[in-house]
Structure 1
Amino acid sequence: MSSNQFAIASPPTDAISALKFSPEADSTRFVVSSWDKNVYLYDLRDENGVLGEGKLLQKFEHRAPVLDVCFGSSENEIYTAGLDWDVRKIDVASSTQTVLSSHEAGVRSVVYSKEHSLVISASWDSTLHVHRPDAGSNPDLTPAIIPLPSKPFSMSLTPTKLVVAMASRALHIYDLNALALLTAQSDASPPNKVEIEPWQRRESSLKFMTRCVACMPDDAGYASSSIEGRVAVEWFDPSAESQARKYAFKCHRQTVDDIDVVYPVNSLAFHPIHGTFASGGGDGVVALWDGVAKRRIRQYQKYPSSVAAVSFSSNGKYLAIAISPGFEDGKEDISEGTVKIYVRELGETEAKGKGAK
């Protein structure tokens, strides 16, 4: 491995489902969820503040595999979603877990909106739960429950919008202000089922099942990826001019014995400053893209197994890459040492777009 990349010590023991950096400026902490029923909190720096193998700060055990994780208003607050059907809030300082709500099937995604102080979860029961963070400590604060037309696969948000990618190539974009108003009205038990029209309904530009959706940091649009080696880039603005700009491209494909082998694009993450984005695929490759110039900036060396998650630090200086064997590796059991987390310390211009000054 190159000198500007290092492996994190004490990785999870089973497949990684999600990895997110702290939202706090210049923080080197990140959180990881795994199929081994744990959530891991790491710091890139060791006890002496030196970048190296990093340090496992805490581990939080769950009752079932954890499918998603995110930070809340600070590093002291973590939200999790998993196969125990629960949405949980973890208080890092006390290591206590509080159930915010329970769905009727596994919970695929959880996100936190700092602008609106909302926790939103998406479950395979085809609902969104919209919570206020203090709901766990106040039984009268029940979540607003929004029915979805099909199972959600991925979710991402901006300061004003929530994008939910679902089965049947359906995609809903919600106005977060409207969702915040719902929670203000949901102080009654039992949980409050509400029909709310999304701000926009779209059909995915990709022909095959959506694997991941990620929003642009400038609140202008989003990228989505599919199981069939493609990424689409789209803008929120419904005008004909903006919609004419949307496009899709092929990626994460390799020629093996003269056959074009196509891999799923498992993860997408936008750089918080440059607005470029990283993609991680089942081929074990991470690439950086300039979505505006429609060009690949760089591609890193192939990793030993499928890339499960990618995430940039909030200051844009680090890119974390989680790898674990996937279906494309043809492995049912995960052998020791195949789940790893690598962190790249990025050069100043490494993630800059082609047209950036």
Structure 2
Amino acid sequence: MNLGVTEKDLEISQPPQDTVSELTFSSQADYIAASSWDNSVRIWEIQQNGTAVGKAMYSHEGPALCCAWSTDGTKLVSGGADKAARLFDISTGKTTQVAAHDGPIRCVKFLESPGSASPILATGSWDKTLRVSFGYLLSQTPISSVELPERCYTMDVSHPLMVVGTADRHIWVFDLNNPTVPFKKTISPLKYQTRAVSCFTTKDGFSVGSIEGRVGIQYIQDRDSAKNFSFKCHRDSTGNIYAINSISHHPIFGTFCTGGSDGSIVIWDKDARSKLKNIPNAGAPIVSTCFNRNGQILAYAAGYDWSKGYQSSLATDKRTIYLHAVKEEEVKPKKK
């Protein structure tokens, strides 16, 4: 796929009218979806020349806070401030409510492993519950409803690993072979509010980012604890510290990028403990990032992230989605 000149990333046509809450690429095709604070969920198809063609749009009854593709790429699920999870079927164009909570749904993920016959959905809410349910119908009783220690802020899944981050810095790790009981309960190694978690592609740990401009590298097994470390990033020369809003791991090389409130994206090699690439500043906070299925495209959304309160939100704020053509040297780990 040719996205043109790397130094000038391509902007998606007709982006949402308000800030994106989450971006996600299909694992089966170059379809990208975005949930947004304007209540909408939009889907585009990325063409060979890098242009994005709008394919579908549907709405929640409040801000759409998250979205995720099914393993087979035929369905998209989203959660919103309307306390509902909604499923969109690409083939029929129909939207169905498939889950409900007592508070806004902040995180949604499909849990089925490749080849699984039954779709399984996890929804994490500000009502302090994580619900796991079968199928595509709201009428079905959830498999489980796990009481979380606080409001669900972030979640990532790489079968059979699921990591959930909540308020008050709690992080719960689940083995999806037994999704009703947390495998491990821990506290973030970072001192301030958790904004993002992302599973290693090796499925033996996760990265966590916080509002203090730090990333924590955490392995799950105690025997690997000596490899845990944290580092500072997304800070400027005048001492300003910026939140890390998004972390995404490269599907091929396992390196990862961080997107910050400073408007920058940085790609890291955790094993070499080094920086690989700085992507030019977007001019607005980076609120979400994701790689496509082969890691050749990095999509990122820029928009106001409320880190400075409502008084700093302006009608003129940039709210858009960019596509960055990934060069191998930007994401390939350094030789040891």
Contact 1:120 1:128 in 2 (8 A): yes
* Structure 2 contact 19–320 (Cα < 8 Å) conserved: no
Q: Structure 1: 5+ residue runs without aligned partners?
A: 180-195
Q: Distance in 2 between matches of 1:304 and 1:349?
A: 25
* Structure 2 counterpart of 1:292, one-letter code: D
Alignment of 1:46-61 (within 5 A): 49-52=48-51, 54-61=52-59
Aligned to 1:188: none
Contact 1:216 1:223 in 2 (8 A): yes
1:72 to 64, 70, 75: 70
Shift, 1:135, TM fit: 3.3
SS of the residue aligned with 2:149?
A: coil
Match of 1:338 among 314, 318, 325: 318
Query: Counterparts in 2 of 1:180-259, with a 5 A limit?
Result: 196-239=180-223, 242-256=224-238
- Structure of higher CA gyration radius: 1
**SS of equivalent to 2:177:** helix
Aligned twin of 1:187 = none
| Helix, strand or coil at the partner of 1:199 | strand
How far apart are the structure 2 equivalents of 1:50 and 1:301? 21
For residue 140 of structure 1, report the CA deviation from its aligned partner.
Answer: 4.1
Answer with 202-211 or 73-82: which moved more. 73-82
What secondary structure is seen at the aligned counterpart in 2 of 1:93? coil
Residue 183 of structure 1 is matched in structure 2 by: none
Deviates more, 1:309-318 or 1:159-168: 159-168
| Equivalence for 2:17 | 13
Deviation string 1:278-321 (CA, Å, 9 cap, x unpaired) is 00000000000001111111111111100000100010100001
The one-letter code of the counterpart of 1:51 is G
Match of 2:218, SS state, is strand
Alpha carbons of 1:55 and 1:173: their partners in 2 closer, same or farther (altered >3 Å)? same
Deviation at 1:114, TM superposition (A): 3.0
| Contact map agreement 2:79 2:86 (CA 8 A) in 1 | yes
If the length of structure 1 is used for normalisation, what is the TM-score? 0.87
Distance 1:286 1:16 in 2: 16
Instruction: Give the secondary structure class of the aligned counterpart of 2:182.
Output: coil
For 1:191, the equivalent position in structure 2 comes to: none
Alpha carbon RMSD of aligned pairs, Å?
A: 1.8
CA contact (8 A) 1:60 1:95 kept: no
User: Post-superposition shift, 1:336?
Assistant: 5.1
Where in structure 1 do 4 or more consecutive aligned residues deviate above 3 Å?
A: 140-143, 328-334
Q: What per-residue deviation string (whole Å, max 9, x for no partner) do you get for residues 134-155 of structure 1?
A: 334xx34444211111111100
Q: 2:133, 2:140 within 8 Å by CA — same for their partners in 1?
A: no
Distance 2:191 2:267 in 1: 23
Provide the rounded CA distance (Å) in 1 between the counterparts of 2:71 and 2:267: 28
- AA aligned to 1:166 is T
- Unaligned runs of 5+ residues in structure 2 are none
Identity %: 28
**SS state at 2:259 partner:** strand
The residue aligned with 2:306 is: 327
Residue 93 of structure 1: CA displacement?
2.2
Q: Point out the more displaced range, 327-336 or 344-353.
A: 327-336
